[in-house]
Amino acid sequence: QVQLVESGGGLVQPGGSLRLSCAASGFMFRIYGMGWYRQAPGKERELVATITSSGSTNYADSVKGRFTISRDNAKNTVYLHMNSLKPEDTAVYYCNRDGKVRYPWGQGTQVTVSS
């Protein structure tokens, strides 16, 4: 049973920082690229950042320079370090395998950026 459990979200002020974690289980985590996605109210889910099995990263233009994706294969965990947060970053954040075929979505973690 594949499980993806996101955590670390919360309410922060603009300019603040958060670190999100995604604990994965039920598959061979090490061999797959992973990604962080987000969905804001009234909008479709969008890709935020990806990291390959070997550690190469890519970012959406909207977060480039502010967010950093990383992984710890020993812990089967993907992280998203978010700095200089903006109100536009407010969304539910999810992790999943990177690719067209994905595992069932977890519950996500809410990030709210507001003063």
- Reported as a single tens digit per residue, the pLDDT across 5-35 is 999 999 999 999 999 999 999 999 999 999 9
Which residue's entry shows tokens 């965990």? 77
Q: Alpha carbon of 101 to those of 6, 56, 95: distances in Å?
A: 19, 20, 13
Whether pLDDT at 3 is above 90 = yes
**Whole-number pLDDT of residue 99:** 80
**Whole-number pLDDT of residue 100:** 78
Which residue's entry shows tokens 């978010």? 82
The residue among 15, 16, 19, 110 whose CA lies nearest residue 68 is 19
Mean pLDDT of 58-76: 98
Mean pLDDT of 45-67: 97
